[in-house]
Amino acid sequence: MISTVTLNPALDKCVYVETLLPNDTNRIVKVEVDAGGKGFNASRVLKELGSETIALGFLGGQTGKYIEHVLRSDGISVDAVYTGSDTRTNICIQDISGLPPTTLNEAGARTSEEELEALFAKVMQVASKSSMIVIAGSLPPGAPVDTYKRLVKLACEAGSKVILDSDGEPMRIGMEAAPFMIKPNRDEVGRLVDIDIQSNEDAARAAELLASRGIELIVISMGSRGALVRSREGTWFASPPDIKPVSTIGSGDSMVAGFAHALSQGRPIVEALMWGSAAGAATAMTDGTGICKRHQVLELLDKVQVQEL
């Protein structure tokens, strides 16, 4: 089983306009509402790919109940700590002329110490039953900056391999607990090791620095350019399939899920890189906040080109 932890989920509302006109009236063409949050997204993709998964995290109010309903409708087990405040709503404005989306993200509800401890207890319960735990996303207001470090340490001590996918100080401090795998994107890597990623060689150098901190598997996603993975066995770069992207929302979370799915089946690193790249690309082909479908991932697998560096 692969568990996921989402401390700051959201209801994702995506509105479509012909052409976004700032400081003017915009007519909405279409609206999509979906469950959001990096860990929850990963659980949805894991379920679609055929892995058993359980989603843990904070939920609150009617918004939280709707998110739980969506996840359970997808066949995902949910074990949430319900908070005193409503789960946030994130708004994506998708310009159908082809420009990148504009996103408006709420900070999220403030989390109490009691709510954090309740979530830690749930993570402790599932960690020993999980081959992997994906801990992903931002921290909600009120959560100490070392929250991910504590969660990673707890899960590792229970025998689970941890995949950490976050940003900034929570990510930097979380890495001190040596998670099994991290998946920063190009910009996040720059903030972690102060390297401007412009080439595969830059990414490889950054991965070496991150590996020196005791992290076994480093995946650096570089958008349409591809992704690099560094392990003790070597370093590889994957060129993604040639697709027409529609929306990149959730692509990084899908890549994490593709990796976790493949690794949990005992597949080698190169195959995991292919699964992650194919899942990320397949999600980029969907509208708004939609996720990939298994048949799309399978169709794209053989189109991922991998080379050893």
| b/e 103-134 (16+ beta carbons within 10 angstroms → b) | eeeeebbebeeebbeebeebbeebbeebbbbb
Beta-sheet strand order (sheet of 10-17): 28-36, 10-17, 88-95, 102-105
Parallel/antiparallel/unpaired status of strands 234-239 and 227-231: antiparallel
Question: Tokens 């003017």 sit at which residue?
Answer: 24
CA of 9: how far to CAs of 109, 161, 185, in Å? 10, 22, 20
Q: At 47, is the secondary structure helix, strand, or coil?
A: helix
User: What's the token pair of residue 289?
Assistant: 């906040």
Written as one letter, the residue type at 291 is I
**Residue 253: active-site member:** yes
Task: Name the active-site residue from 202, 253, 287, 302.
Answer: 253
Which residues are the active-site residues? 253
